[in-house]
Amino acid sequence: MAEMPVLRRHDLVHLRSGARIEGVAAAPEVSLADWVAQGRPFIARRPACADRGDRVPIGLPLPPALGKARLALAVAPEAMAAIVPPPLLADAAAVAPPGWAQRIGALLAAFPEARCFGSLAWQHLTGLAYLSPGSDLDLLLPCASVREADAAAARLAAIGAEEGPAIDGELVAPSGEAVQWREWASAAAQVAVKAIDGVRLARREEVFP
């Protein structure tokens, strides 16, 4: 039996052809076998109480045309072909609406290493229409210290004050834990820290030591 993999939030999971996916009865809108055959990924999700300990919990957010449901699925470790990080914003930018170009350009100038998730990422990854007029621009920004997190939040606030799509996203610590950037910018003494296994309150210096 394959070892259980170590997954982080927003990790993308590619499955082997013919992989047995548990939870398919909850997905009448889409053929998961076809999804795998087309090379489309799934995403790591938080384990639920009902999940088996020998299965890897994965999810699949469907586009609006397929009901926009969020499917909670699971596979055996040996069904996994690859685990990859979410796409770079620079790569996903090609499928962004024209009205996003100026904002994305400003973000890439400030954060060339930025990755994205949400609607923009899934449209880039699948070729399906995930974006809508109200979509946010969801970012992941790695930060190694409190100082870097402070600077990133201040820069995001400045860019977000200009015309363009709303900027959502997270500042990601080396541990893989993350904090929503607006919450960090609030200078609260404690912040909600998100990890693959749940959410906890922590002092700021505990997140980016």
- Known catalytic residues? 136, 138
Residues in Cβ contact with 123 at an 8 Å cutoff, skipping those fewer than 6 apart? 63, 92, 95, 129, 130, 131
Q: Which amino acid appears at position 148 of this protein? A: E
**Region label for 14, one of left (φ > 0), alpha (ψ between -120 and 50) or beta (otherwise):** beta
Q: Could you tell me how many residues make up the chain?
A: 209
- Give the closest residue to 111 by CA, choosing from 81, 64, 143: 143
> Taking the CA atoms of the chain, what radius of gyration do you get in angstroms?
18
Residue 89, helix vs strand vs coil: helix
